[in-house]
């Protein structure tokens, strides 16, 4: 008996699940994006917005939903495209059944993003139409064509990224300095395109450096700036210790510039990382006017290294009080944190580390403050004598004239040896020399050059140390001169500006910034 096959026609749309014979208006949205904010792109953006609005509304079988937009945002990733993400969210919620956009590259330059988004939309019955390529994603050829077009767009992005990276590194190699002026305190962009000091902001920078050298921590400085109502470089009200630390370590404030501190790892995600030697860096000396004297800048770096990492830095007593037995810093500890007997004490951070615990005592903040008042008033009693002795001795003790003469001699010697080395290399390249004799002469000159270089660097370090020490003691003496009579109340300014460190044993030994020691 012959089989009889009867076809039962489809009655529902496979994507929208609506009856095929029923006239249903498609809910349509447009998507427009431009990747930069310049004037030409702005005109393109407005033209796209106007075009899609009118185009969708002109169709009787379409229902206008909205035109979603992103302006001045790259297309390599969809992560930060708020308009795009909102459109996808609305489509997945059933508010949109058709999206119209100019081209695959406008939609996404990342193949993975493009295909995964289109598949998600397809699963929810939302189609995408790319006008320029005439691709409908519900078409059987759609996904293949989109994959090809997205790959081409992604390759274009890679090429653009390489060109931009090359251009940026060429600028760095040429010593051209650029900073984000809107979030960089202390400088404006000058008429010549270089950094120009903003005097109002420069006062804040100088104050930060001065407070640090007085002994305050980045945390303490941040707290003080916040209390004084000073805005951060980014325009925020609250300062953080990390922002203060970045200012204290930024070489641009002494007139120099280190270029290419970070680099882009992935052109798709735009992820950046700190340059730890993966790509070249360029150091430009004397690029612009300095806000901070180079000697003071170097003094700050030395002080930061001296304080080290063995303390929190969140309190004015941090990095000031040491254990006389093991040499570790004192840190704050909270006793009875959850009951009425709660109190904060300071004790050796390594008191219970290792086999033998330190026998040095714990101290309350009041005990530290009282001991400081005793010590500082002891110093003030001999103030006139100390000031007179400093004024009489400072020219002799801190004079760098002889050292600078030695530096000039070492520098001249380095230049002479360098010239002779170059002559020797040229001679070896043009004349048949005995190579054993050549290597001996070359090694001898190289050794002499290294010795002269080491002497030069050592002398420079001595000069820097003397200048730094002079500024430190000058600041200390200024505080001494400013005191009128006995100090009756604890002062953070005096503590930070006068005390170098305190050693705690059976007694407390205060060492002041001029080297004076007082036992309490």
**Read out DSSP for 244-269?**
HHHHHT-GGGGT-EEE-SEEEEETTT
Question: Residue 99: which pLDDT band, with cuts at 50, 70 and 90?
Answer: very high
| Higher pLDDT pick, 14 / 93 | 93
pLDDT at 136: 85
Residue 504, classified by CB atoms within 10 Å of its CB into exposed (0-12), middle (13-18) or buried (19+), is buried
**Read out DSSP for 358-384?**
--PPPEEHHHHHHHHHHHHHHHHHTHH
**Read out DSSP for 106-174?**
HH-S-HHHHHHHHHHHHHTT-EEEETTTTEETTSTTHHHHHHHHHHHHHHHHHHHHHHHHHHHHHHHHT
Q: Which residues contact 424 (CB under 8 A, 6 or more apart)?
A: 438, 441, 442, 445
For 289-323, write each residue's pLDDT tens digit. 888 888 788 878 877 776 665 444 567 787 789 99
Share of the chain above pLDDT 70, in %: 77
Is the pLDDT score of 376 beyond 90? yes
Distance in angstroms (rounded) separating the CA atoms of residues 31 and 134 = 16
pLDDT at 158: 63
Distance in angstroms (rounded) separating the CA atoms of residues 497 and 482 = 12
Q: Are the beta carbons of 213 and 197 closer than 8 angstroms? A: no
Note the Cα 238 to chain centre separation in Å: 17
Three-class DSSP category at 496: helix
Domain 181-307 part of CATH 3.90.1750.20 = yes
**What average pLDDT does the segment 429-454 reach?**
88
SS3 percent helix, strand, coil of the chain, rounded to 5, is 50, 15, 35
With left for phi above 0 and alpha for psi between -120 and 50, is residue 277 left, alpha or beta? left
pTM here is: 0.50
pLDDT at 496: 81
Three-class DSSP category at 42: helix
pLDDT at 512: 92
Is the pLDDT score of 355 beyond 80? no
How many C-alpha atoms does 473 have within 13 Å on its Cβ side?
Answer: 19
pLDDT at 75: 44
**What average pLDDT does the segment 348-371 reach?**
85
Is the pLDDT score of 165 beyond 80? no
**What average pLDDT does the segment 156-177 reach?**
57
Distance in angstroms (rounded) separating the CA atoms of residues 231 and 299 = 26
pLDDT at 310: 46
Is the pLDDT score of 21 beyond 80? no
Mean pLDDT of all residues in the chain?
A: 80
Distance in angstroms (rounded) separating the CA atoms of residues 156 and 163 = 11
DSSP element (H, E) containing 499:
strand 499-504
Distance in angstroms (rounded) separating the CA atoms of residues 442 and 135 = 71
Q: Which CATH number fits domain 26-160: 3.40.50.300, 3.40.50.1390, 1.10.10.60, 3.40.50.1820?
A: 3.40.50.1390
Q: Which residues contact 195 (CB under 8 A, 6 or more apart)?
A: 177, 179, 187, 188, 189, 252, 287, 288, 289
Instruction: Specify the range with the lowest mean pLDDT, choosing from 17-31, 180-194, 284-298.
Output: 17-31
Distance in angstroms (rounded) separating the CA atoms of residues 75 and 268 = 9
Is the pLDDT score of 39 beyond 80? no
Distance in angstroms (rounded) separating the CA atoms of residues 507 and 97 = 81
DSSP element (H, E) containing 284:
strand 282-284
| Higher pLDDT pick, 260 / 49 | 49
Residue 61, classified by CB atoms within 10 Å of its CB into exposed (0-12), middle (13-18) or buried (19+), is exposed
pLDDT at 372: 94
Question: Residue 90: which pLDDT band, with cuts at 50, 70 and 90?
Answer: very high
pLDDT at 142: 66
Q: Are the beta carbons of 331 and 358 closer than 8 angstroms? A: no
DSSP 345: E
């Amino acid at each position: 008996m012959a089989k009889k096959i009867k076809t039962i026609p489809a009655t529902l749309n496979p994507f929208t699940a609506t009856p095929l014979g029923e006239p249903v208006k498609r809910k349509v949205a447009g998507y427009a994006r431009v990747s930069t904010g310049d004037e030409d792109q702005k005109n393109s953006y407005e033209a796209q917005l106007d075009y899609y609005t009118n185009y969708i509304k002109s169709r009787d079988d379409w229902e206008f939903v909205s035109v979603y937009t992103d302006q001045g945002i790259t297309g390599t990733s969809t992560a930060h495209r708020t308009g795009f993400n909102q459109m996808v969210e609305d489509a997945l919620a059933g508010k949109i059944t058709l999206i119209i956009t100019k081209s695959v590259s406008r939609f996404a330059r990342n193949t993975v993003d493009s295909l995964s988004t289109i598949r998600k939309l397809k699963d929810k019955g939302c189609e995408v139409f790319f006008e320029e390529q005439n691709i409908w994603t519900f078409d059987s050829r759609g996904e293949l064509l989109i994959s090809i077009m997205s790959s081409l767009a992604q390759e274009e992005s890679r090429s653009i990224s390489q060109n931009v990276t090359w251009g940026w590194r060429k600028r760095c190699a040429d010593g051209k300095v650029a900073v984000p002026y809107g979030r960089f305190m202390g400088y404006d962009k000058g008429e010549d395109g270089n950094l120009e000091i903003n005097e109002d902001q420069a006062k804040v920078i100088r104050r930060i450096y001065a407070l640090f050298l007085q002994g305050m921590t980045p945390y303490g400085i941040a707290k003080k700036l916040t209390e004084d109502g000073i805005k951060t470089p980014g325009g925020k009200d609250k300062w953080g210790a990390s922002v203060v630390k970045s200012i204290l370590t930024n070489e641009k404030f002494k007139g120099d510039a280190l270029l290419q501190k970070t680099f882009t790892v992935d052109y798709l995600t735009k992820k950046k990382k700190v340059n730890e030697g993966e790509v070249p860096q360029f150091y430009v000396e004397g690029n612009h006017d300095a806000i901070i004297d180079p000697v003071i800048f170097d003094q700050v770096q030395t002080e930061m290294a001296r304080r080290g990492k063995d303390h929190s830095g969140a309190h004015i007593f941090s990095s000031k009080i040491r254990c006389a037995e093991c040499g570790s810093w004192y840190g704050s500890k909270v006793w009875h944190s959850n009951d009425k007997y709660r109190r904060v004490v300071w004790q050796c951070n390594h008191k219970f580390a290792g086999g033998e615990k330190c026998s040095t005592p714990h101290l309350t903040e009041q005990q530290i403050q009282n001991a400081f008042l005793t010590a500082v008033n002891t110093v003030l009693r001999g103030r006139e004598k100390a000031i007179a002795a400093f004024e009489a001795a400072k020219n002799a003790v801190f004079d760098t004239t002889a050292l600078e003469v030695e530096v000039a001699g070492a520098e001249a010697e380095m230049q002479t040896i360098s010239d002779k080395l170059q002559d020797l290399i040229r001679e070896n390249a043009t004349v048949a020399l005995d190579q054993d004799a050549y290597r001996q002469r070359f090694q001898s000159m190289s050794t002499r050059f290294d010795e002269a270089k080491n002497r030069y660097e050592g002398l420079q370090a001595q000069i820097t140390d003397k200048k730094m020490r002079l500024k430190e003691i000058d600041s200390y003496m200024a505080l001494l001169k400013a005191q009128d009579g006995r100090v009756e109340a604890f002062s953070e300014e005096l503590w930070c500006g006068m005390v170098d460190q305190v050693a705690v044993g059976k007694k407390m030994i205060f060492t002041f910034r001029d080297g004076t020691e007082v036992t309490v």
